[in-house]
Structure 1
Amino acid sequence: MVRKGSKPLGEARLDQPRAQTKEDETAPSFSPHRITLETFHHLLSIYEATVSQVHRRKVTLKLQPKPAKGSKEKAGAPVITKTEFNDSEEKQIREQTDKFLELDRWRYETLPNIVAERKACAGEKEGNETDRGYLLKEELVDIMDWKMKHGVFRPALMGMVKSNPDKTVTQSTSTAFAVLPDADPISAPAEAFPKSSLDALTSPLRGVGPATASLILSIGTIFGDANMQVPFYSDDVYLWLVLNDFRQSADEEEKPSTNKKPNGELIAKYNVNEYRDLWNAVQKLRARLNADDTKAQASNREPVSLADIEKVAYVIRNIALSGFAGQGLETISQESAIIEPLEPPKKETATVEISQKRKSEADTADVTTKRQSKRLKQ
């Protein structure tokens, strides 16, 4: 929300960094104005560990004892009172956590590769709208599943997404990918902003607003021209880059925020204007980090991507569960009782139908549209 006489969020807050304290002089800074490449890449390297611990905590919360009848609980963040679990409960926690890690890898790796292969096939065919890169309805449903589990659960959206006809999903996503602008986001931000692509998704698809539309476009542009990458309007990125709402260090106590509800849900309208603020802020941060990376050309390190920024924002928001340790910092939190050493992810055995389904998608990504439409629905 913009107050009278103030600048838009993306300009007013992003251009006004916090006042630096004595602790900031020695501690790694998470401020988008001062974060270094070293700190950024360190945070990026612990993304999967953070996802694992955050999801473990979510499953753990479901196993907490129900309040006694007649008891009055104060509204606010959920409290963990039970930290020891029997073998069956531990198995449930591990299986559900591994299952979500598999879904997370599918969102960032498998599905973007599938879409990229469909786009590549488009160069060999002409006259078919669906050969410009697209999503299937089953994939859109899984994207929404990831979105709700990765962030705040909003059950009504899933029912709306499932009500979309298969053909509408395929055609609208194909159109959205096809009309993505090919302009430099720094030198020509107005021309590069994907307004037409957002409209191509939000108008015909139920349950798809600007935030979910940006997620779809993000998945479809992870691979390819860096200038055409689209950032996902995630709560984490918006809080960090637009609202300047984040813990300055790993051991800083989380303070009450006027930007979030007690359950952690962002207080926002999720409209195009807010997304434009986020889009501009993300582009500026990526440009600064890549300009500072003088070692990138002499090493195998890839330039910072928009997906990288999204992941780092997630770690920063969940820094108490991340295991982050910087100069003079230790991770001390109330949640530490439920954090345990991570085991290497078991990709081949990482639970049930999701991994089997993702493998099937990858194996059939290069076949015709007719074959792809015959995949088993969940």
Structure 2
Amino acid sequence: MKEKEILAVLRLQKTKLIGDILVKKLIATVGSAEQVFAEKKHVLQKIHGIGSLAIEYLHDESTLRIAEKELNYINNNNIRYRYFLDEDYPLNLRHCIDAPILLFEDGNIQLSQQKIISIVGTRNMTNYGRDFCEKLIEDLSPYNPIIVSGFAYGVDICAHKSALKNNLQTIAVLAHGLEKVYPRSHKKYIHQLNKNGGFFTEFFHDDEPLREHFLKRNRIVAGLSEATIIIQSAEKGGSLVTADIANSYNREVLAVPGKTNDLMSKGCNQLIKNNRAHLLESSEDIVQLLNWGAPKEAKPIQKSLFVELTSVEQKIYDYLKENNQQLLDVIALETGIPTYQLASELLQMELKGVIKPLPGKLFELR
């Protein structure tokens, strides 16, 4: 894309009262983003959905300065982006009327594989939810799907980590710019995600994780995939919003049932009860619903019994083998490994399928 055109696209993203749907209508009518700013007012006024105030905002010079700053960042940092009119724009998302006009990208995302599912749920995931999520992704791994989620606490990060553990590509959709990390404790996962997947965001590099950004982020999570899976959810929550959006896109929604008195299953149970989601009991439900058929080349699901460990990892392994479940701080104290280093080592062992994290900073061998 020519520099003047991408500058105009960036400027449109920051223009008040001009959302993604209207931007697409404007570009389709006048021919390009650059022409939107050059077009005469009386021509723009004939376009359905645009008001006189929105036209005035188009000529707000402050948006030009913001766009120029973002373009400098893109050029100076070799930031990749996908424009909604380009061939590399995600196919599933292209079919969503309110999809973002521009997606910024980090990592190594390969979208030639069209088996894409989104997995979302509560931040307060229980052991039941964690075990189901891990088992589900492990059982789906022979089909080599791309796992999409929102990089949040709970179900989101569990889905990302389980995908990495099973050598599946995973995409995290952010509610902020690429220069920000939220939650900050998930910074340690960025490198692994970038190696086997990566990040999408519609927000400028320094945009903060504001509340309204998470709601906008949810439509991308739902739009990227052919099905959205809700692992656990309270009676109200962001994952239920994502389910509603997926339904509005005529995408499949599946929910994991739970006990009637379980607060973290009330949302899923209601989705199923009100016919807004299919009942999800196992990976086979997804395979049949999406008509995936037999995997072309089944991956061995059983993990190798002989995992190569570094000397430090072996020390941690031997300690946990002798002491069963232990707190991170206790492991650090007993093994003499600094806490900051131990957290990184435990993450690598988790990705190798050697250890399992538990609530309260507890760890045990698998």
Same fold (TM over 0.5): no
Higher relative CO (Cα under 8 Å, sequence separation at least 6) belongs to: 1
Structure with larger Rg: 2
TM-score between the two structures when normalised by the length of structure 1: 0.25
Query: Which protein has the bigger strand share?
Result: 2
